Structure 1
Amino acid sequence: MSVSLPPWATDVFGKQAPIVQTSLGQALRKMQANAQAAHEQTDSNTNHTYGMARWQNQFERPRDELKDLPGATAVKPFRFSFELMLVGRGLIYPFRYSETIADVRTTRIPKESRLIRELFTFAPAPKHVQGAFDLGVEAPALPSEPRGGLTRLPQGTQLILVPFACNASELLAAYWGIAALGENRHLEWATDPVALTLPPAVISYGTRLTSIPEQATGETRKHTGFAEGSEPTLTLSSRTPSEQPRDIPPLTETEPDEDQTSEDDATH
């Protein structure tokens, strides 16, 4: 299906708008293929593996497709596991809006996290902001000041949303457009969301494991037992003069690094 290029896309991405449009369609097709492959490999009765693989690939595949474009930059939001791509003036944010065929014009952002608040500082302002007098009580608002890589975005950056619908069986639809974050996570579209062209199949799937490596047999297995292998090298730490009188034994292994992993601001 041939889809025309919306005027705002040329304004945001310049001459690279057509290739950005095509690349996003390819990226989402690869996302679906990877997620389905992971699901099939686990032979699971649930969709947990598909969901995790889809969530990861919805950010990594657009990065792979767009990273070599002139001027394209990978942007890492604060405490977010993945990078978002900035091409021209457009910061691209893909997300799943439905598991079934649904009207994208009535969609909502899945979760209003602090990350989402930060991203939408690069979007148009909503027409109506719900205040304390609307509810009768004053609810604390999430901070929205950009952090991390978002602080280095150039002035005039525009958030480009890429909502898509999919499930473990198929990729149903995908769109792109510009919207404000309205009440109750509803999107107020500043542009009409335009359907992305989705290729019928993966164009370039990349490197995958297609065969099991040759296993050791016969003579190659002769000296692979634990007792016959080479002795491991131990890292010893000498005791200081102050430790020796206190009978403190020497360390036989290095201390593990402190785990620096933190939770993401977005959900799967």
Structure 2
Amino acid sequence: MPGLGTLINVAAIVVGAALGMALGGRLPQRTRDVVTDALGLVVLLIAALNAASVLDGEFVAAVGSSAPTLIVLGSLLVGGFVGSLLRLEARLERLGEFLRRRLSRRPVPAAAVAGHSGGPDATQETTPPVATGQDRFVEGFVSSSLVFLIGPLAILGAISDGLGNGIDQLVLKAALDGFAAVAFAAALGVGVMASAGPVLLYQGAFTLLGVFLGGFLPDSHISALTATGGLLLVGVALRLLRVRSLPVADMLPALFVAPLLTAVVAAF
């Protein structure tokens, strides 16, 4: 059944995030920071492995020995330009903030609204969480969404599922994302669980592409996408390690630019 792999992936994220939240509440802040740092280092390792795809033989054979690095650079520049104009980072953060408000709405105790002039039908909500809590939700949602969405398995696995070639790749991704969700949620809270939504939409869209379009990406194009995604993951790792908060979401269009540039260069 097309889409089963993505549903398993989403379930793994939700369960992993729930376990992480249960565990994180019992951990001191210092331990949470260590967990985040460790996850940042692992993301950096995964990023390096993905970026190494720039050396793949089929990629080099298709575009020439000197072109792969330029294709990745061009993809990041064009993708970053488009993403910044679309304000993708700000939009993703606003989505995270909206979900945080929806998930944290609770009625105000009766004693706190005694004498309220708004009447019985007035909306009664608690004061929003302090800025630190808001920042943790948004950072958890944004960082985990980027980690779960960036990478070849999200696209290749979903396309393979849509083509009817099995869900092995997405099951592997589900296992990786589930363990990552535990670590993320232990440090960053419920925002990590909310990232299951973008995963469902993103991978579901590529599953549909697999169903209707078939295998449309040659291996050289996949290598370009993987290498570009690896560099984006470096940006995610730098955020997690608190080195620098790069606007990685603004660069996400680079994942779509990379195969297009590869096709153009290979044609010449």
User: TM-score under structure 2 normalisation?
Assistant: 0.24
Q: Which has the larger radius of gyration?
A: 1
| TM-score normalised by length of structure 1 | 0.24
Please identify which structure carries the higher helix content. Answer: 2
